[in-house]
């Protein structure tokens, strides 16, 4: 078999690279993918070009992996003090810092070439903003308690890019989706930050989980409510129907469930709430697709 033909040291190195890029943990890719698909399907009136679907699916995978590499590069010293991250390949010394930077640059280059070869000039111009956001986000937790806001912008930048690739222009709907996704990202990444809050306080990492303090769940709830409200506005402006709104209702119900999971602010509950956001994004996408098909 092929794995047996690969020397064990190379297998270990590839496994470390895969771990660095979170290939074994697709949650980040999925959370980035669903809003990108929202934009593609809305901009394409239910029938986005196959080429754009392929380009942005691969682009989401590559850029999320690139973001993980540069994030671990930025946090390589601090991660030693956090129980959940101290055994990451870069932190543990199994991958060198220059390798993480090289992987980040290589994945960005591949994504950029796909945009150059298969999309249009507007998408190309927008791609520079996405690369900048992907690079600066990991360093924001040193300077501001709002790194989740920068992550939200980075995770949402695929929306105007996908819209531009499919429609050749941007619209108010584009920026409504963008705003909804920024708020949603801040909400679910605050839940994620609540998992590490005690460790982050010890080492000086800043986050919205620390900034919000005892008001964390209430603020997350307000952010979630704003996401639902904006998505309802999207449905109204795009003249969508019942199935889309059922998807939004399903997201709202899942948000209530997230509040239940995080009610005691325990690590496991907050992490489960974070992971469950995948289904919230999928619910909106499924409702949107069905509505565009039957409408």
- DSSP class of residue 92? T
**DSSP secondary structure letters along 251-294:** HHHHHHHHHHHTTT--HHHHHHHHHHHHHHHHHHHHHHHHHHHH
Mean pLDDT taken over the chain: 91
- DSSP class of residue 8? H
Average pLDDT for 131-159: 90
Biggest distance spanned by C-alpha atoms of the chain:
58
Res 240: pLDDT: 97
Confidence of residue 194 (pLDDT cuts 50, 70, 90): very high
Q: Which residue has the tokens 């895969």?
A: 18
Domains of the chain: 2-294 (1.10.357.140)
Q: Tell me the pLDDT tens digit for each residue of 217-246.
A: 999 999 999 999 999 999 999 999 999 999
pTM summary value: 0.92
């Amino acid at each position: 078999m092929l794995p047996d033909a690969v020397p064990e040291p190379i297998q270990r190195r590839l496994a470390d690279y895969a771990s660095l890029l979170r290939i074994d943990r697709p949650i980040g890719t999925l959370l980035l993918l669903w809003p990108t698909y929202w934009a593609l399907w809305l901009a394409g009136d239910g029938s986005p070009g196959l080429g754009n679907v392929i380009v942005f699916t691969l682009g989401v995978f590559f850029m999320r992996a690139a973001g993980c590499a540069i994030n671990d590069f930025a946090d390589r010293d601090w991660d030693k003090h956090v129980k959940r991250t101290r055994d990451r390949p870069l932190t543990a010394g199994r991958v060198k810092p220059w390798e993480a930077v090289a992987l980040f640059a290589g994945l960005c280059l591949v994504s950029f070439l796909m945009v150059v070869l298969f999309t249009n000039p507007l998408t190309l111009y927008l791609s520079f903003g996405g690369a900048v956001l992907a690079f600066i986000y990991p360093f924001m937790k040193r300077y501001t308690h709002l790194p989740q806001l920068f992550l939200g912008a980075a995770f949402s930048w695929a929306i105007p890019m996908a819209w531009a690739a499919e429609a050749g222009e941007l619209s108010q709907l584009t920026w409504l989706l963008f705003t909804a996704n920024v708020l949603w990202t801040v909400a679910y990444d605050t839940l994620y930050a609540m998992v590490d809050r005690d460790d982050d306080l010890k080492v000086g990492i800043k986050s919205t989980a620390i900034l919000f303090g005892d008001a964390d769940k209430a603020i997350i709830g307000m952010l979630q409510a704003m996401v639902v409200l904006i998505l309802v506005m999207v449905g109204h402006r795009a003249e969508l129907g019942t199935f889309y709104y059922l998807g939004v209702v399903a997201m709202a119900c899942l948000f209530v469930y997230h509040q239940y999971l995080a009610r005691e602010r325990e690590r496991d509950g907050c992490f489960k709430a974070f992971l469950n956001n995948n289904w919230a994004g999928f619910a909106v996408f499924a409702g949107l697709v069905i509505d565009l098909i039957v409408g």
